[in-house]
Chain A
Amino acid sequence: MVVTVGLLLMNACSEEFLEITPNGSLDQSVLATYAGVDALLIGAYSMIDGIDASFSWEAATSGWVYGCIRGLEANKGTFSGDQPDINPIQSFSESPTNPYLNAKWRSCYEGVSRCNSTIVTAGMALEAGTIDQAEHDSFVNQARALRGWYHFELFRLFGDYSTGMYVPYVDQNTVQSELGNEVDIRPMIIADLEAGTDLALDMGGIGRFNKTVVQVFLAKAYMQLYQDYGSALTELNEVVASGTKPNGDPIGLAARYGEIFDIENRNFIESVYTVQYSVNDNSGAYNGGWGEVLNFPYKGGGSPGGCCGFFCPTQDFVNSFRTDPNGLPFLDNSYNDEEVTNDQGIAIGDPFVEYAGQLDPRVDWSVGRRGIPYWDWGPHTGADWLRDQSYSGPYSPKKQVYQQSQEGSYTEVGNWTSGWTANGYRMIRYADVLLLKAECEAMTDTDDLGYGEVNQIRARAANPAGFVMEDDGVTPAANYVVAEYTTPPANSAEAMTRIKFERKLELGQEGHRYYDLQRWGDVLNPNELPRILAHEKSMPWGDNLYDATAAVGPEDVNFPIPQRQIDLMLGRLVQNR
């Protein structure tokens, strides 16, 4: 009897018994508050490095693969078998099935998705009265600016003007099943970024977007997407005149070139927007520059990081820093007439004579090379810093590398390398702003065609206090000679030649090069990448590094749309080539 009653009772409550809601998660309604929307927005910001537990170096925002290696500033490095999917990217033979492309695509759209959930939830919160209109607008404008940036990144990688195949634009109203890529989404990108320019200058946090940051992105988008230098110049003029960092602090050029890349200085005056990496923050290093973790010298205990020997600068890049007797670059590309001496094939103990010719001092902040002091790690000793010198060539990366004194405090502890750092990616730094402004002046034939801006940057480079010094602290590590231009450019073309070269020297290894060439139409014409590729293939390590058939073709001005995405979108996404 008791059992029978029990059975009946249980029948009665079985519906309730079967209602189980998940533990450890929240639904959207709970997040429709000020704190909730802000947390969703922080989640949207957190994809700006390209990384979360699902995405690693393939998706890095720092552009070491897509901006630098593809731009032939650097090669994959390490040895042939590691991350072989980069090999076709540097040999201009990547297929649509290359997993790097798919990861990058997915990472960017994950950022977009987070922006959209922020925007929708902010709307819910406004309706519920938990935030006011101004708060709502600030949240939404930040999210829209971020969304604009994620789409901009996708567009410059995968959008193709010649075929009219772009990338899908996803906003909070998008019906996934209707998406395609035949719509020109540039106006949407501009609109999202324009919304971001309504933000305040002081956003109360260094990691947020403010008006200035978004204005730079907007200018970049005008330049990259429309070659609209006039509109870009308007934004950049305002940035230079009255821009601030997201916390309201002033922006400007740092006094010494090398100090820009010191982790300590990541939010220094030079930084307009730095991606805020953090270490030992319980993220298992996912917030600590995971995207760049492979890109440290490979000497283990005796050198920084200990892993993994990727991202080795090219000889062409190093040669570019040669200067003429006036301390000016070889604008006619004759810098390759003479190779900066390297220690390729020279054993560690054997004598090596460093290059004695004139060099722009920025080379030794951009590149680790034998005999030159490498931060506080002592001099780079050559082949033992490389994983396989016969494959990667003799150079090591440097700008993102931490100092010995920073190990453990600004690096993640307790894992297979120390190469997770707080050295946030300098996504926009002031020198970039000045050079973009110079470019706009040159292209629109206004002001001094960028003469002043270029010289401002060269003057900073020439500050001896910013040279790499030998151990004594007073002797320059190499024969550094760099000077300002003494004559204004005669015309727009000459100005552009100077500006293009200056960007290579100033912003090298910082993820810009391939996109710059794209913008200028210089990937193939005038033969820029084929010229450099031919030079690099002629290096002793070139045969091992590049496929014999590597060649830059007309389709190599962007990347193919990932095949996996074409498959998943059931024909609505069309390949761009």
Chain B
Amino acid sequence: MNIVIQGTTQGAVTDAQGNFSISVTGDDATLVFSFIGYSTQAVPVGSQTTINVTLTPDVTSLDEIVVTAYATQKKGDLTGSVGVVNTEQLVQMPQSNITQQIQGRVAGVTVVQDARPGQDAKVRIRGMGSFQNNEPLYIVDGVPTTDINSLNPEDVESMSVLKDAGAASVYGARAANGVIVITTKRGSAGQMKVNFNAYGGISTVGSGPDFLCNTQEMADLVWLISANDGTVEDHPLYGLTTNPEPTLPFWAADTDWFGESTQRGSIQNYDLSLSGGTEGANFYASLGYLDQTGEVIFNWYKRFSARFNSEFTVKDRLTLGENINIVHRSDHGVGNQAEQTAVTGGAYRMMSIIPVIWESGPYQGLTHFWEDGDWGSTGIANRLGNGQNFVSDATRDKDDKWQQLRILGNVFADLKIIEGLNLKTSIGGSIDMQYYTNWTGSTYEHSENTATPTYRETGQIGGFWTWTNTLTYNAQFGDHSILAVAGYEANKLGYGRGVWAQGAGYFTEDAFSFRTVGTAENLQSGDSWFNTPRTLVSQFLRADYNFRSKYYLSGTVRRDGSSVFGAENRYGVFPSVTGGWRISEESFMSSVGFISDLKIRGGYGTMGNQAAVSTSNQFYLYDGAPNRSFYDINGTFTGSAPGFRPSRIGNPDAKWETNVTTNVGFDAVLFERKLELTFDWYTKRNVDLLFNPELPGTAGNASRPYFNVGEMLNTGIDAMATYRMISGDFNFEVTATMTTYNNEIIAIAEGIEFFDSVQDGGNRIGATSRNEVGYPVGSFFGYDFLGFFQSQGDVDDHATQAGAEPGFLKYRDTDLSEEIGPEDRIHIGNPNPDFTYSLNFNVGYKGFDLVAFFYGSQGNDIVNQNRWWLDFWGSFIGQKNVGMLNDSWTPDNPDAAFPKASAKSNFSTSQEYSSYYIEDGSFFRLKNLQIGYTFDNAMLGNIFSNLRIYIQGTNLFTITKYSGLDPELYQPSETVFGVDQGSLPVAKQFIVGVNLGF
């Protein structure tokens, strides 16, 4: 506890037992007792010589100052729907990207993880409202940006999520997906503070799938298939299929490809910050270093960041300042959710019989004469498939590197014209430079090889700027409080250009230092691009009024002009209005003892989205590219003549998408301020959605223009509850959040009832998802799998189905046409969860603290696309599920989990997409468990102001019925998700850390 004599700087602190002593000058002195988390208490000394003080916990957050659109407000005065992120909780997750850390921290925000170090998570505020772009807008110290991955989470002071139109609509044409307002740390007058935080640890994705065939089981499976199919052949691996048993070739290995493709990861993070200031100046400076080794071999990520924020006040009128973030990031990245990645390419496409390194030589294989030490892969023999040795490819590529230097920041000036009236101008933006290299070495070991090595180097530069001017008026007239902001903003976004070149053929493939495009035998290809920027010009107004903090009314309006739309539709106006009523302030409520504070609020308004459209949308364009329109008209064999083609059909009539939100909610503080509740119910109607309907083939293949034709409806609730209890040395806080959104597509385009989507990353079975009117975005669509055909009689009785055989997949004849065809496909699953939720427990006892953070998702379906590779022989040759051997359909095993083992690839096996692949993706996961101990300052001789050490584990357990590696899937696409195409599992981490303050 701190004690100061009011009006002086004299003070004292209590010891471990809470005792203190202080000398005062006289009876009129007043002591001010304060402690973080407790109400400050002032006690007149009078004649007392002993003063016993018990501070009451100041646990409500209503007085918290929240950063909102172009202003700051007391949380208790909010009328729009604003979620406040506890930034201390945010940094508890040892993750390398701030977007990953937001998960579960705010009701109404859905965060879809990417398990790879440094990668952005997908942040979705209140579901999805666009077919094209659902990224929220971030405002960092007043600068709007769509990219916050360069921020060091430790530098973040506050983060507010503006969810509804009432809160966000003043950001106009960029607000429709929600706005997240971030401020970074500033110094304050007083002693300079030094903080040092460090943590380090290891991570593991575990031993991977336990359901794959080993080498012998795979051979046995081939025998089972030959028997089932009646195939007789001299199998290139296992001998004559008429033999009673398969014989393994002498070189057969038993490789754990998942184990070979993954490694133990590690993470270390150091942050050093200095802050301080005087009356007229303050600063905050920090350095951060994060070094993470991923769980896929050779994967790493590093981030050096620096921040310098400062503010100078001149003659109490003019404040000048700047915020700047300089970051250098680099990584050797890996793929996720695609074919040649660690999970799919490593574990699922490679049979265990294949050795990683050849030790059985010499041997004449399919593609190579093998000698000991050579890489093993699918080129050893026929029938090993066309997978690639993930280890050999990754080893060759290990020197590939991406690096980025980004500067993000602003300078500002704030002039106090009169008391309460301020004019502020800020110019900010970013410069972003990236460089990456990509080596593709020649291979010999695969069944499909690259003959000539290539090297590609890519450089690019880009950026944006924003100029914001606001006039803010803040005043109190008796019972009336007014906050008003008028502003003008100009933006230029997305300018930049880049170039790549590729060389082919290298004298040596081993010497990294020799590798440049210039040292190649041939300068093979190259390209460059020149981004078309977009500009926005905006005027806006916001006004908040309250009467005695009891009745609230707030209105905002913004007018935006955007260069991406034609002159006719260039400008849009986005208004909102909200109101609030603090019922607890009414006299009739004073008798209701358990309510400490209760406010109901509601609002209505519109927001826009202009990011969903190409900057070229309004233009008819022609372009030429070698792979599109060049032709060797002169017959040179090795050079094509430039040609042009229509590249884009224009639509000058497009305009922004509009999000119409209605929000009703309440904030309550109950039971002597022990329980805080926040609840919001919303409907979000997204109209004029931009969609580029596929044109008939007869219109040619130029890029299709976007039209404002779609409509989507989201409804849902966001709820958050916090319960706090303090009892002596023991304190306890639990926070629960729940997020729901019900998404329904209302319209796509005239005459278009649906469009199908395939997830990025490769899928050999076709579209899994159909976005259809009346259904949620990303709804799964296909045949309804009824079970396996049990007999020929069953086949004959069923509707005619191509390829039907006992043991194969039986689909429902939904249209009762007695023939199974495309029209029998129905919506068979929904990747959108019923709700997502989190629970955060904070327990403190004396110096000890414990945090347990749980996160869960309920009611979402997953398409386990991996089963296409693993459950069917006729998909692709590669690793298979051991269930194909042990629990596949035979007449004697009618209740089998797997279809009949057969090489046949047809409509009734692997060629159609059905509910066979759909599983329940619900999960509940312990995201974080942390135990810390804060040392008593006195014990440490007051050298430190703070010393805390902790140990931590993340993702320690998960409860799920999902049979794949991890139900928490990375999402590479917008209108299709919940499809597991080999998603990298989230790792378990074990961390130790220290927080040190001077």
Contacts and interface: CB of A to CB of B under 8 A. Distances in A.
A7 B622 contact: no
A182 to B, nearest CB: 14
B453 interface: yes
Contacts of A7: 469, 488
A42 B563 contact: no
Contact of A544 (B564, B629, B694, B904): B904
A148 B570 CA distance: 42
B905 A43 contact: no
Contacts of A350: 234
Contacts of B386: 307-308
Contact of B698 (A95, A99, A176, A279): A176
Contacts of B619: 21-22, 25, 27
A134 to B, nearest CB: 19
Contacts of B910: 81, 84
- Candidate in B533, B623, B906 with the most chain A CB atoms within 10 angstroms: B906
Interface stretch (A429-437, A525-533, A562-570): A562-570
Contacts of B505: 413-414
Interface in B416-474: 423, 425, 440, 444, 446-454, 469
A43 B643 contact: yes
Nearest to B903: A80
A197 interface: no
A565 B234 CA distance: 46
A414 B822 contact: no
Interface stretch (A200-208, A227-235, A317-325, A454-462): A200-208
A102 B697 contact: yes
B698 A287 contact: no
Interface in B521-545: 522, 524-527, 529-537
Contacts of B562: 18
Interface in B898-944: 903-906, 910-911
A95 B822 contact: yes
A372 B618 CA distance: 60
B802 interface: yes
Given A417-B448, A568-B696, A36 B379 contact: no
A344 to B, nearest CB: 9
Interface in A377-422: 383-384, 386-391, 407-410, 413-418, 422
Contact of B236 (A113, A117, A179, A383): A383
- Candidate in A287, A540, A570 with the most chain B CB atoms within 10 angstroms: A287
A105 B695 CA distance: 13
Interface string B499-529: 0001011000000000000000010111101
B637 interface: yes
Contacts of B625: 53, 283
A381 to B, nearest CB: 11
A114 B535 contact: no
A240 interface: no
Given A17-B490, A388-B382, A413-B524, A109 B638 contact: no
Nearest to B877: A79
Contacts of A413: 451-452, 454, 504-505, 522, 524
Interface stretch (B23-31, B266-274, B644-652, B680-688): B644-652
A81 B505 CA distance: 33
Given A383-B236, A413-B522, A568-B696, A407 B802 contact: no
Interface string A292-307: 0000001111100011
Nearest to B521: A413
B620 A106 contact: no
Contacts of B621: 22, 25-27
A105 B694 CA distance: 14
Nearest to A83: B764
B906 A388 contact: no
A300 B367 contact: yes
A46 B631 contact: yes
Contacts of A308: 386, 448
B453 A414 contact: yes
Interface in B803-828: 803, 821-822
B615 A390 contact: no
A449 B73 CA distance: 97
* Consensus secondary structure, chain B interface: loop
Given A39-B642, A283-B627, A345 B232 contact: yes
Nearest to A181: B698
A23 interface: yes
B233 A390 contact: yes
Interface residues of A, number: 123
Given A81-B910, A287-B631, A565-B696, A300 B366 contact: yes
A334 B628 CA distance: 48
B58 interface: no
Contact of B444 (A24, A301, A307): A301
B632 A97 contact: no
Interface residues of B, number: 111
Nearest to A24: B530
A144 to B, nearest CB: 17
A299 B367 contact: yes
Interface in B350-401: 366-368, 379, 382-383, 386
Given A23-B531, A39-B644, A42-B643, A422 B368 contact: no
Contact of A284 (B490, B627, B634, B644): B627
A128 interface: no
B231 interface: yes
Contacts of A540: 232
A391 B642 CA distance: 43
B249 interface: no
Nearest to B912: A84
Contact of A99 (B451, B453, B766): B766
A81 B874 contact: yes
Contacts of B627: 52-53, 283-284, 286-287
B616 A42 contact: no
Contacts of A307: 386, 448
- Candidate in B616, B632, B876 with the most chain A CB atoms within 10 angstroms: B632
A173 interface: no
Interface in A21-64: 21-28, 31, 36, 39-46, 48, 52-55
A201 B790 CA distance: 68
A282 interface: yes
A572 to B, nearest CB: 9
B227 interface: no
A183 interface: no
Interface string A534-558: 0000001001100101000000000
Interface stretch (B315-323, B330-338, B699-707): B699-707
Contacts of A80: 874, 903-905
B635 A206 contact: yes
B442 to A, nearest CB: 9
A280 B230 CA distance: 46
B18 interface: no
Contacts of B636: 278
Given A25-B648, A81-B874, A345-B234, A207 B367 contact: no
A109 B524 CA distance: 31
B626 interface: yes
A95 B451 CA distance: 38
Nearest to A567: B752
B830 interface: no
Nearest to B617: A22
A27 B526 contact: no
Given A18-B537, A46-B643, A113-B646, 8 more contacts: A24-B530, A25-B622, A42-B629, A52-B628, A87-B911, A168-B698, A414-B452, A422-B637
30 contacts: A24-B530, A42-B633, A43-B643, A46-B629, A46-B643, A52-B627, A81-B875, A87-B906, A97-B822, A247-B635, A263-B637, A266-B637, A277-B632, A278-B638, A279-B638, A280-B524, A281-B639, A281-B640, A283-B640, A298-B447, A300-B368, A300-B448, A302-B367, A308-B386, A347-B234, A413-B505, A418-B451, A549-B802, A568-B695, A568-B696
